Structure 1
Amino acid sequence: MIRSVHLQPFLPPMALCILLACATSASAARPAASDSVSAAERREGFVSLFDGRSLRGWHGYGKSGQPVQGWKAVDGALVRTEAGGDLVSDKQYGDFELRIDWKISPGGNSGIFYRGSESEPQIYRSAIEYQVLDNDHHPDGKNGRDRWASALYGLYPPAKVANRPVGEWNQTRIVVRGDHVEHWLNGEKVLECTLGSPDWKARVAASKFKDWPSFAVARSGVIGLQDHGDSVSYRNIRIREL
């Protein structure tokens, strides 16, 4: 009687090495998720708002449930690639600390909105804006320090210039707790203010925001990334609720 023999499939050592090398190369070619939250940040309660590969968790302003236009995940960054409107988080946040990296194009303008309400025609009628700008080459850079990068747009200028040259990544922190707001840039606290304070009311009364009764009223709202017509990239988007 002839016994059947079960042959175990195998690969010659050289073929196995080639397969492993190809797998390693393919893995290296895929951009790593640049939204990684460190172990220390996780212990502090931070979570990621961007997985580095998709727009999951985001939608176009006022267009919940519709395909996102104008923004794409590119090499681990969230990039404004063409006209599509502002991009906002699916979830709303009240008191929080947001950490986010950004890189603006030459002459570019964008912004990071918070506590925005989608009940308004445009997000800037309700949300507060952390300015993102090429200070040296965009016209807003000549319209006052309250338009410079890291300003609370139109109201509070940064106390110091902490942004890096155009084309380099900047690290932003926005801390909002009750009425207290802080803007940080590249490890420097550049401004703080108190919403509803006499100083705040005076500045709003002297600005275009005086005509928008919903401005900075909501105690919670969406996080937004501004489409101002220019190329801009965001990555490492982490947030913790306070």
Structure 2
Amino acid sequence: MVPSEHSANNRGSNLILSIKNKTLAVLALLSVLSQPAFAADNQLTAEEQADGWQLLFNGKDMSQWRSFKQPTVNEKWQIEDGAITLTAGGGGDLISKESYKNFELTLDWKIAEVGNSGILILADEKGKYIYSHAPEIQILDNERHPDNKLDTHLSGSLYDMIASPVASHKKAGEWNSTKIRLENSALTIWQNNVQTAKVTIGSTDWNSLIAKSKFASWPGFAAAKEGHIGLQDHGDKVWFKNIKIKELN
């Protein structure tokens, strides 16, 4: 009689323990499933892969980049802590090996104190300098760099053409995000999820902006319908990571 009761008690305890373990497992699974599908640095989520996004930098090498008008990457561009890094001026501008026409580009960047850099689109190699033909999205230490006196030269601006809201920029040394969408010449720019510029290349508005800018007398500026993505060497230390692109149409 006693052994039988003991056995029954054990079976009851085991059943309760089993139910508790299964409940905890289900709760743990639900917790994981409820989390957003964020990718680690320089990786794509499953959703991004399914949606056609591609990495332009894997955090380990710069195999998808080269220096402007050069077959390889200048040694002053290095990888530091999973970021493409301009360690010193004189490295020249970087360009993607592939060219793009309609695309959405996202990336993260940070700039050193008193720093200046930029992201360029539709870059070709016809001119002496990348910026002579390619529109630039400005990167700047807004607080300290002397170029902060012009609104159209602040970080997130379509350089010398459309001013960015100052509030969208984080201070030097902090990571910022930029998104650029170009579809059938319609260009939209976001910085830290704030839209900073929207214009159609070649439109009346565009031509008016060009006429008021330094590019008015630059032949061939923004004439290319397809081109490389560029990362600018302006002589200051700058970091780039999570560079992702999705071709449209």
Judge same fold: TM > 0.5, yes or no.
yes
Residue of structure 2 in register with 1:164 after alignment: 170
Residue of structure 1 in register with 2:159 after alignment: 153
Percent identity, please. 40
Residue of structure 2 in register with 1:192 after alignment: 198
Report SS of the residue matched to 1:227. Answer: coil
Report SS of the residue matched to 1:190. Answer: strand
Aligned partners of 1:90 and 1:169: how far apart in 2?
A: 25
CA contact (8 A) 2:119 2:139 kept: yes
Question: How much has 1:67 moved relative to structure 2?
Answer: 4.6
- Whichever residue aligns with residue 219 of structure 1, its letter is K
Aligned: 1:225 with 2:211: no
TM-score by length of 2: 0.81
Structure that is richer in helix per residue? 2
Residue of structure 1 in register with 2:51 after alignment: 44
Question: How much has 1:104 moved relative to structure 2?
Answer: 0.5
- Whichever residue aligns with residue 156 of structure 1, its letter is I
CA contact (8 A) 2:73 2:94 kept: no
Question: How much has 1:34 moved relative to structure 2?
Answer: 2.7
Report SS of the residue matched to 2:167. Answer: coil
Structure 2 unaligned regions, length at least 5: 1-38
Residue of structure 2 in register with 1:7 after alignment: none
CA contact (8 A) 1:101 1:237 kept: yes
Aligned: 1:106 with 2:113: yes
CA contact (8 A) 1:160 1:190 kept: no
Aligned partners of 2:236 and 2:192: how far apart in 1?
A: 22
CA contact (8 A) 2:113 2:144 kept: yes
Query: 1:56 aligned to 50, 54, 63, which one?
Result: 63
Aligned partners of 1:216 and 1:159: how far apart in 2?
A: 24
Aligned partners of 1:108 and 1:92: how far apart in 2?
A: 27
CA contact (8 A) 2:77 2:84 kept: yes
1:140–1:36 distance in 2 versus 1, CA, 3 Å: same
State the structure with more CA Rg: 2
Aligned partners of 1:56 and 1:106: how far apart in 2?
A: 29
Q: CA RMSD in A?
A: 1.5
- Whichever residue aligns with residue 51 of structure 1, its letter is N
Moved beyond 4 Å, runs of 4+:
none
Report SS of the residue matched to 2:139. Answer: strand
Question: How much has 1:159 moved relative to structure 2?
Answer: 4.2
Q: How many aligned residue pairs are there?
A: 209
Question: How much has 1:191 moved relative to structure 2?
Answer: 1.7
Aligned partners of 1:38 and 1:185: how far apart in 2?
A: 21
Query: 2:102 aligned to 90, 95, 102, which one?
Result: 95
Aligned partners of 2:73 and 2:169: how far apart in 1?
A: 33
Question: How much has 1:68 moved relative to structure 2?
Answer: 2.3
Aligned partners of 1:104 and 1:177: how far apart in 2?
A: 28
CA contact (8 A) 1:133 1:149 kept: yes
TM-score by length of 1: 0.83
